[in-house]
Structure 1
Amino acid sequence: MKLRRNLLTLAYAWLAGSGWAWAQEPPAPQRVTFTTQDGVKIVGDFYDAGAGGDQKPAFVILLHMYMKDRTSWAPLIPELTRSRISVLAIDLRGHGESTEVVEVTPPADEEEAAQPPDEERETEEETPKGPTGSDLVERVKARDKKVFKAMTEDVWSAYEWLAKSGKVDLARFGLVGASVGCTVAMDYASRDKSVDVVYCLSPGTKYMGLRSGPHIKKLADQAVMLVSNPEERKESEELKKNDENAELNVTLGKNGERDLHGTDMLGKVENLEAEMAGYLTGHLGSPSDPKEMVVGNIKTRVYFKPDMAQAQKLPERVRRWFSSPEEAESRGMKPGGGLPPTPFD
């Protein structure tokens, strides 16, 4: 749970969950593109909830389900932006417009190329080469496990785009996934401890050959919500055994539907979008205080004050922000550069 959460944040989460929100039109989407380190051109829509505000908003990255695309999140986005949460909805590789593969130069710095370790990552994934990425699309249709395993690269690059944009509060970071997008979200969050909250619609124990259990097991210090229909509740219950702190919500459709899956729930489950916005708001917390924020290396699990020399040298790939030393340490980070450990009451 976000350590800086206070009564104001809790009250706002309740208001958002009960359907209250600022009366404002959602921002127009900005179409964005960026290229992953393994050469896939990712396309997404960015919704800036902070335009005209004094403080940068929290943000979430949305990860759709198999054979869908970023447009499947349309019913949710207005509720999020009204709740002052900026949104980056991407087409995962091989889906929607994210089908182009380009030649890239591998980073010279080993740290810039590395993701924090993951024992589930069996081999080095090879991205199919081709001017249009047609092989990539076919491999997705064939449910090629290696392509889905490599989707964490899409999230990594999405974060890097947001960090460079300068438009969001980097210490208030959430992921929302649907179906196999839940697996991708849990995989990523298990290695990036700056993620505050993971919200899952129809998570499974194994999608496209990828197991979620080993990842959710590492999320005990991050908020996790598992939402499923009655027909799939056993999958969520099994996942919850790996993380007793995860929350579980089994829900029916407005007309009693028992089999709504992933983003098909949006617009069809009573108040789901408002409940999602409220939960995310509560766990993303109130705006960060720049005087309290720290920056760390999520690979070595060491954090620094932003003005320290070590902080200036952190590779972009593994540089992440936390709202306070307390939050960083609650996620398994250790103080570096001679900083004393934070005393906890």
Structure 2
Amino acid sequence: MPRYLIPFALACLMSLALPVARAAAPEAVSLKAADGLVLKADWVRSDKPASRAVLLLHMMGGNRGGWAPLVPRLTAAGFNVLAVDQRGFGETGGERNWLLAATDAVAWMQWLRQQAGIDEAQVAAAGASIGGSTALLACALDAQCATVVSLSAPGNFSSVLPEGKTIPALLESYDGRSAYLAAGRFDRIFANGALDYARLLKGEVQLHIYDTSAHGTVMLSHEDTPGLADEVLRWLDSHVGAAPRD
């Protein structure tokens, strides 16, 4: 079984290792995609007067709860958080289509910019496994995307794109913006994927290859990658606007 099919339940169990922080109860929200599919998500506001937001995209086989261990820390750092069920998964359902999933993510980022208090220039995306590739593609399509965090994005992502579409061509419009990439050295396909993306992206890129086989959001609380969650938070904090004052 491909590693990007790591069960979501494992990520939930590993979340127990993260420092305790509490987020507000999520609000279930929906958005109609261009093809009529109703997309589902959880919207969590920071309890601070925050003008910045991050879109979270889950792994293959997961759902919008995949990033749950990090959400309280994000909101505590002054981020409003939108965790979505990508098409083909969770409550969104429908058929899987990864190029449409990227356009869905663009639509969600536009939704974020329409929410009260959100600065249009302070919206970022983070994704894990194939969601990491989707986040990169979405931000290539969305010129306002502030930065991307991509964990364990697959190097063979082209195999699920429509015929004639290639990753290098799709990422050309990323226009030198910043990206944080991480993967496990022994999660070989995905480590190679991170290296490929680092070569393709022309802006500020931070690449961290950990000595682990842990994958995607599992790395946020894995014993082999104890500093990853902190690195992700620092990256977003330094690349998406200014932290709100208490």
TM-score, with structure 1 as normaliser:
0.58
Q: Which runs of 5+ in 1 are unaligned?
A: 1-20, 100-132, 141-146, 253-257, 289-345
Tell me which of 83, 92, 98 is aligned to 2:86.
92
Q: Is the 8 A contact 1:64 1:70 kept in 2?
A: yes
State the partner residue of 1:209: 160
Tell me which of 250, 255, 259 is aligned to 2:209.
250
* 1:42-191 matches, cutoff 5 A: 42-49=39-46, 51=47, 53=49, 56-99=50-93, 133=94, 136=95, 140=96, 147-191=97-141
Q: CA deviation at 1:266?
A: 2.0
* 1:261-276 matches, cutoff 5 A: 261-268=215-222, 269-276=225-232
Q: Is the 8 A contact 1:186 1:215 kept in 2?
A: no
Match of 1:165, SS state, is coil
Q: CA deviation at 1:272?
A: 1.8
Q: Is the 8 A contact 1:35 1:157 kept in 2?
A: no
Q: Is the 8 A contact 2:153 2:194 kept in 1?
A: yes
The code of the aligned residue for 2:206 comes to: E
CA distance in 2 between counterparts of 1:43 and 1:64 reads 13
State the partner residue of 1:38: 35
* 1:299-310 matches, cutoff 5 A: none
Q: Is the 8 A contact 1:226 1:246 kept in 2?
A: yes
Q: CA deviation at 1:217?
A: 4.3
Q: Is the 8 A contact 1:204 1:212 kept in 2?
A: no
More helix by share: 2
The code of the aligned residue for 2:160 comes to: G
* 1:262-301 matches, cutoff 5 A: 262-268=216-222, 269-286=225-242
Q: CA deviation at 1:287?
A: 6.7
Structure ID, larger Rg:
1
State the partner residue of 1:198: 148
Do structure 1's residue 236 and structure 2's residue 203 form an aligned pair? Answer: no
CA distance in 2 between counterparts of 1:286 and 1:224 reads 18
Q: Which runs of 5+ in 2 are unaligned?
A: 1-18
* 1:271-319 Cα shifts (integer Å, max 9, x gaps): 322221111010112279xxxxxxxxxxxxxxxxxxxxxxxxxxxxxxx
Pairs aligned (count): 215
TM-score, with structure 2 as normaliser:
0.79
CA distance in 1 between counterparts of 2:135 and 2:48 reads 30
